[in-house]
Structure 1
């Protein structure tokens, strides 16, 4: 009986020390991880809407309307020129791909042109769906019209279609769904006369 209590006490002490160690590690790394996510988000905005001098968060009822109507869009920003005029919009969406949610950042200028798309964090298959982060894939979206939905073709990127990644049609379609939700949100904003910053 004493041996069982002794073993249990030793295990309890080990568990408490391990839990404290994990908690301390979490506290120490929480700030740097949040900072890295913020910097990656800022970089993605600059890459998809490069003509903007700054970006303003869309918040409050406007964001609630966008998120509720245009799933999987989760965040939205106005791209501003040096004078503070809105020149376009950036949307972050999280469509479901083959391996789970895929973070997609899409930029659209006021003239209705997709200015860029980037893929952030994802769990897509290495060597297949993970190729969505390659410039050969995501650069297909730049220049597409936001007046119509973007399609996915297995053979070529004609008109408003992009060519799917070979062997990763589900990932390609998911990313395109994120871009199309962003296009729908953009068109809703434009139809409602834009947003004030």
Structure 2
């Protein structure tokens, strides 16, 4: 009986080790392509919000300080990455701030916001979203996202009627939650920019 138990235990252990090896091998094979795809998607987003930039350079920032700054301003969002947008002479044109909005209707939304040195918002480009098709997913459509482009504002406000001011964004019909998530994410980026980047990086 004891020999049988030992035998079964050895087989189970061997099976577990082999399975672990296979999983590690698969992870190793897929990790690099996934990483490359993520980096390519990020670069595409940077270029989308700063089309005149020739290159982008990672900006070193304090993530905890950024989160506190954003939280103190009343936003739940996080600053995930900051890139300096550079021209052909390596002069800074502005910044690309990648934000994760925590309050989408179906979860988090990650997107990059381009902001020029003078504070003008170029717009945003989404890299991760899982909102409801036909509703929240319209955040990816031009009718909505173009409302954020070329706006120099302190913050965006979502309204349910036709906007009458530059800082007003007309909500997606039936998806006010997603609309506010996008506006708040942009506001988080603006908040960080105004406090830490405007007038030259601190």
TM-score by length of 2: 0.82
Q: Which has the higher strand share?
A: 2
Q: Kindly tell me: are residues 151 and 16 of structure 1, through their superposed partners in 2, closer, same or farther at Cα, counting changes over 3 Å? A: same
Change (3 A) 1:18 1:125: farther
Q: 1:44 to 1:90 in 2, by over 3 A?
A: same
Give distance in 1, aligned partners of 2:12 and 2:133.
Answer: 39
| Post-superposition CA distance 1:149-170 (Å, at most 9, x none) | 1111122344211122222211
* Cα distance between partner residues in 1 of 2:162 and 2:48: 24
Deviates more, 1:8-17 or 1:87-96: 8-17
- Once residues 164 and 41 of structure 2 are traced to their aligned partners in structure 1, the CA distance between those partners, rounded to angstroms, is 31
Q: Distance in 2 between matches of 1:180 and 1:19?
A: 45
| Distance in 2 of aligned mates of 1:43 and 1:89 | 15
Q: Which residue of 2 aligns with 1:35?
A: 36
Q: Which moved more, 1:87-96 or 1:3-12?
A: 3-12
Matched residue SS, 2:35: helix
Determine if contact 1:144/1:150 at 8 Å carries over to the other structure.
no
- Structure 1: unaligned runs, 5 residues or longer: none
Q: Structure 1, residues 116-140: CA drift from partner, whole Å, max 9, x if none?
A: 2111112222332122122222222
Classify 1:84/1:65 alpha carbon distance in 2 versus 1 (closer, same or farther; 3 Å): farther
TM norm structure 1: 0.84
**In the TM superposition, what is the alpha-carbon distance from 1:57 to its structure 2 partner?**
1.1
How far did residue 32 of structure 1 move?
Answer: 0.4
* Structure 2 residue corresponding to 1:113, chosen from 103, 108, 120: 120
